[in-house]
Structures are given as C-alpha cells and as structure tokens.
Amino acid sequence: MKKAFVTKEQIEDIVKKYPTPFHIYDEKGFVNNVKAVYDAFSWNKGFKEYFAVKANPNPVLLDILRNNGCGFDCSSKTELILSKAVGAEGSEIMFSSNDTPAEEFVLADKLGAIINLDDFTHVEFLEKTLGKIPETISCRFNPGGVFKMSNGIMDNPGDSKYGMTKDQLIEAFKILKSKGAKRFGIHAFLASNTVTNEYYPQLAGQLFELAVEVQKATGAKIAFINLSGGVGIPYTPDMEPNDIHVIGKGVKEQYDKILAPEGMDDVAIYTEMGRFMMGPYGALVTKAIHEKHIYKEYIGVDACAVNLMRPAMYGSYHHITVLGKENEPCDHVYDVTGSLCENNDKFAIDRKLPKIDMGDYIYIHDTGAHGYAMGYNYNGKLKSAELLLREDGSVELIRRAETPMDYYATLDCLDVYSRLGELVDGKI
C-alpha cells in the first residue's frame, strides 16, 4: 500500500492559498533518504552523490540537497548556472553532457566542474575549445551489447548513443594523460529505473575490472568511478523497494574483491541518482472537476500531461490515492484524464479506484523526479506551482504557477506583445 505524505485535511488547508494543481515535496522524506545513501556508502572515504539536476531543477530543493552533502550532475548550460546559483562550484559539479556545444564546456571549466567526456572525438574538441586539458577528467564507457542480470535483460547499451567503447576509452586516457591530465574518472549508465539490489553491485564489478585494466594499460591514475544513476523506485504498490544499504554493501564487496587487491583502495565512488533520491518524495495534487460516462468511465482533473508527462510519453504507471477515501473499496474503474487535445493525456487507464466525486483531491504518487521537470506548454497550458512541505509541517511556495504572460514572454520582440498584455489584464 502506497501512502500519501499529506492528508485530505492538509490539502484542504493548502488550497485556500495555493489552488490545484501543484507539485508538493516532502522535505523530511528526501533528507532522510540522503542520509541513508551516505550511510550506505560511508565505507568509501571519497563517496559523493551528485544529484541529477535534470530530475528536479528547483533551487530550493537543490540547496537542501547540497547542505546535506550532495553535489550536482549537470548536462546543460542552464543546469550549470542553476548549480552555481545555489553555491556549488569546483568538484561539487559533475558535467556529463553529450553532443555538447563549445560554450558549455567553457562554462563548466570556468566553474571548475569535473568534465565527463561522452565521446572520443570530444578529447580533441575539448582541447581546441579550452586551449588545454583539465587535470581532472572523466570519460563515459559504453560496453555495447545487451546488459543482463539474473532477473533478465535490463537494457541495451549497444543501441545507446552514450559513451565510448573500451578501446576508445583506453586511447582517450593515453591522449589525455599526455596532455596533462592527472586524475581520471570512469563513468557508465547501463540501465534505467532498476528495482533490484543487484544493479549497482553488478555495474560496479564491471567498472572496477575495467578500471584495473585501464590503469595498467595507460598508467593513468583512476581517482573515481561514477556509477551514475539507474537505481529506481517502485512505482507500483506491489514492488519491493530497493534497499540502499544492501546495495552499498554489494558495491563494497566488489570493491574489496577487485580494486583493493590491486592497490586501488583509494578510488572514490560517485553516484548520480535523481529518481531514487527524490522520486517518492514528490506528488502531483489535482482535483476532480468533470466526469464522463460513454463507452468508459472518465474522471477529468484540473492537471494534464503538462504537469506530468510520463504516463502520456511512456505509458508509465503512477499510483493514485483519492485523499480521504484511502480505506474505501476500489470498486470503480476509471480513466483519469487531463484536458489536452491528445488522447494519451491520461494519468491512469482502467484503474480501480474508490468512487470519485467532483471536488475530490487526487494524489498522484512519485512525481519528485522527472515530474515537473519534464513539463511543457502544449495547448497553451501553463505549468503548475511547486510547494515544499517543510519538516516542521509548514508549507512553502518554491515556484509560482505560470501565468499567460509567462507563456507569451518570448514574444516581447513583436508589436503584438503589448496587446497580449492588455488582453491578459482584462482589456478585451
């Protein structure tokens, strides 16, 4: 059973000031999760979690994460700027990008970020762009083929656009070392949203063996190994969640087995989790505003795929709680829909739920990562507010809802812009 971290009574109080829809985040929940991650990897002196900014780029949340020891995994200019704005600099930032514009490498270097190169050709591109090679550098590895575990095929790296082959990575390290690099890192991301304690240990074993081979072949000092993300969350209520302490122990076993005997017991372990760090600690709260009875039963809510596009984009499951009806039987079957002019704008299809009445508050679970961040403005729909449920129970606005003028903002180069402003102000 998935439980909401807010009650119907709390939401009824919140909407007096902040109308639905909105995303709300549980500070106590994600802070405790950060502490658990650091405890699970406390055996590694250099461990650092680089929170994937793409998962939830809100500066208030980033600031809390940083104050609890996290760095930031950035993949764009705007994410680098956002990370700098909350005080991160130097090795607190990991810049893992692909098809990267020169200006973004320049900014990453200016901030002192650790640059993680996605492709062999980027070695020459980086040197031409910066006029140098940074002393600390990382390269992304792609083993190709199919990534399998005991519970089946997890993903297909061979079809992925990311990373270098092993031969390319070894050659890249040789060149980088000859041009002044002194500290090297290896990075890899082989599977997404794995709900198994086996993923990180198995990935770690592959990367540790690679690190030993690369260091012997190149003489490059492997300073860190970045396991990236991929540790997932149980979106469905029947799934057993990952145990980060079991995962940390599994990585340590591989470390002691492979790296330590080679005298590489000073290698730092980095992670770049977004979904695991924040996913369960966010929710989209929306209100039932329409019902429709045709060939199926529909409940229309005041949110849409603009607010959470994963179900429309991937067919992803997000659990739904009807606040105040947690203990009522799920004896009705609904499609829960938004208002976009797209038939895939559905948060749930043929979902068994309690009877939903107009005005009921619908709590959509697990939107703390890749929820608000993936939003867009199709149909002229506006993105919602973001709220933070503080540890003391208070609620803080951490991003206001968009207005029509936000939607029109980039039209300020046109004469019609002033007329739009007048119309928004009611001068119709």
- Give catalytic residue positions: 341
DSSP 8-state assignment for residue 3: -
- How far apart are the C-alpha atoms of 323 and 360, rounded to whole Å? 7
Residues 6+ apart with CB under 8 A from 339: 300, 304, 345, 379, 381
Q: Are strands 93-96 and 114-117 parallel, antiparallel or unpaired?
A: parallel
In the numeric block, which tokens belong to residue 120? Answer: 């062999």
Contacts of 266 (CB under 8 A, 6+ apart): 45, 46
d(CA 349, CA 346): 7
User: 51 Cβ partners below 8 Å, 6+ apart?
Assistant: 62, 65, 70, 71, 72, 73, 272, 273, 274, 277, 278
Distance between CA atoms of residues 128 and 130, nearest Å: 6
Structure tokens at 272: 């770049």
Tokens of 395: 């609620």
In angstroms, the CA 41 to CA 282 distance is 24
Q: Residue 212 contacts by C-beta under 8 Å, 6 or more apart in sequence?
A: 258, 259, 262, 264
Exposure string of 103-138, with b = 16+ CB inside 10 Å and e = fewer, is ebbebbbebebbbbbbbbebbeebbebbeebbebbb
Q: For the CA atoms of 31, 34, 39, 45, what is the dihedral angle to 10 degrees?
A: -130
How far, in whole angstroms, is CA 45 from its chain's centroid? 25
Rounded Cα–Cα distance for residues 332 and 357 (Å)? 12
Which residues, at least 6 apart from 243, have a Cβ–Cβ distance to it below 8 Å? 197
DSSP letter assigned to residue 422: H
Residue of 268, 276, 234 whose CA lies nearest to 251: 268
